[in-house]
Structure formats: structure tokens, C-alpha cells
Amino acid sequence: MNKSKTLENQTVEWNKVNWRKLEKTLFKLQKRIFRASVRGDVRAVRKLQKTLMKSWTAKMIAVRRVTQENKGKKTAGIDGVKALTNKQRLTLVANLKTPKKRAKPTRRVWIPKPGRKEKRPLGIPTIYDRVLQALAKQAIEPEWEARFESNSYGFRPGRSCHDAIQAIFSGINKMPKWVLDADISKCFDKINHDALLLKLNTYPSMRRLIKSWLQAGVMDNNTFLPTDKGTPQGGIISPQKREHSPSRNGKSNQKIRRIYEWKESHK
């Protein structure tokens, strides 16, 4: 029988957990973070985020999402671990905490780009680091969902490509307009760590945690490669870090403004 002690000192079995109840509890806490962020109450945001990071409920959900729900749930990091038993999942929940040492390097795998001969690298963290990233994402995401622009759709909860298509259609169906189709070259690979951490402006222990993932390095064919810039594609929190990237929020907006200026000059 696979059991674990909760923070309330109750015994639970993994396959008998009321996941809907846990999801509701987590969502309520995330809504409080969101509302505090909308109010601009940074102190409340940080306090609630720290509460979430220590929450047994949030840890349970993070483990479940990584080891049971995600598409890459059976992909191994450098430790070779692909899957966990229910007992191992409960043990991971009990032992999950912010490490004091650097995160383990990611395992680099190369996958082909659709319709091209070239390949792109994926950095696969260990299950432990993926779960910790999922936990951190649960804490950070509601804060920044309150700040992101409404016309941003990539890597955001409750939004998809279809929503972006609908927004474009709604914007151009009444009169001709300009549409910018752009791609930031090697966006994930060029993110400046210091600028990203400055942009996040989070509390010290979260900052150290994210910095440890950024600087963990990668193992490529048994060769260790340091990471002094960029964030690996493949980590759960990587898209979230991309959304905060200064290149996304700064240079892209400057280019858009220049295009609008060019458009105005050619009327």
C-alpha cells in the first residue's frame, strides 16, 4: 500500500487522492496571488508564493503533472530515470524542497525541425528538477498573468494558437490592416541570464532557484557544456522564462513601432 503523510499528518494513498479537491485548493491560492499582483501588492504576492512553494497540495499536483500528465513524462534526464511508481511519487512529494546546491545539468537531445533538415536542441532536466520547475511555475505564473499583455498567446494557460487566429481574424475582418509575421532567431538560446533575473525581480530563494536552472549546464554526448546564456527548450519553466525575456518585451516592440512608422510614412 502506497501511503504518505500530509502536512495535516493524515495518511493518503496516491491512487485514492481526490485530485479535483486539490486542484481547487491550488487554484484558490493562485487566484489570491493573481489578485495581489493586480493590486500591485508585492509583499502579499511574495508571501503567497512562498506559501505555495511549501504547500503539500501544490507539490502533489506538480508531481502528478510531471510524472503522469505531461507528454514527456517518460523522458529521462541525465540520471536515466524515466518513470516513478506511486510509492516513489509520494516519496518525492515528501522530499521536495528548494536545493542548496546547483541543479543537475540537462540532457541534450536533438530533434528535427518540421519540414527542415536542421535539428534543434532540447534540454531534458531530471524528474526531480522538472517537478521543482512545475512547482515554481505554479507560484510565478499567476503573478505574471496579471501583468502580461492581453494580445500575447504563447505558452499561456487557457490560450492557444486558435485564440491567436481568432484575434487576428477579428482584427482584420472589417478593414485591411498590416500583419507582422516575425520570428526571433534562436530566442531560447540567446536569453541574457542577468537581464532575465532582473526582469523577474522575484524574492531571493526563488531567484537562486531559477538561476541554478539557468546555469546548470548541459550534457551532450557525455560532454558537459556550461550555459552562460539562454534557457534549454524542454524544461517546464522555460516557456515562462521566455515570456519574461527582455528581447521579447524590448527589441520586438521596437521593431513593431518601426514597422508602424514605416507604414504611416507610406500612406
pLDDT in tens, 32-83: 999 999 999 999 999 999 999 999 999 999 999 999 998 877 889 999 999 9
C-alpha cell at 108: 541534450
How many Å is the maximal CA-CA distance in the chain? 73
Q: 3-state DSSP call for residue 248?
A: helix
Q: What is the mean pLDDT of the chain?
A: 83
What's the confidence (pLDDT) of residue 9?
45
Strand partners, 34: none
pLDDT in tens, 136-177: 999 999 999 998 877 777 777 777 888 888 888 887 887 777
What's the confidence (pLDDT) of residue 178?
76
CA distances from 105 to 42, 66, 120, 151, 214 (A): 32, 18, 18, 35, 10
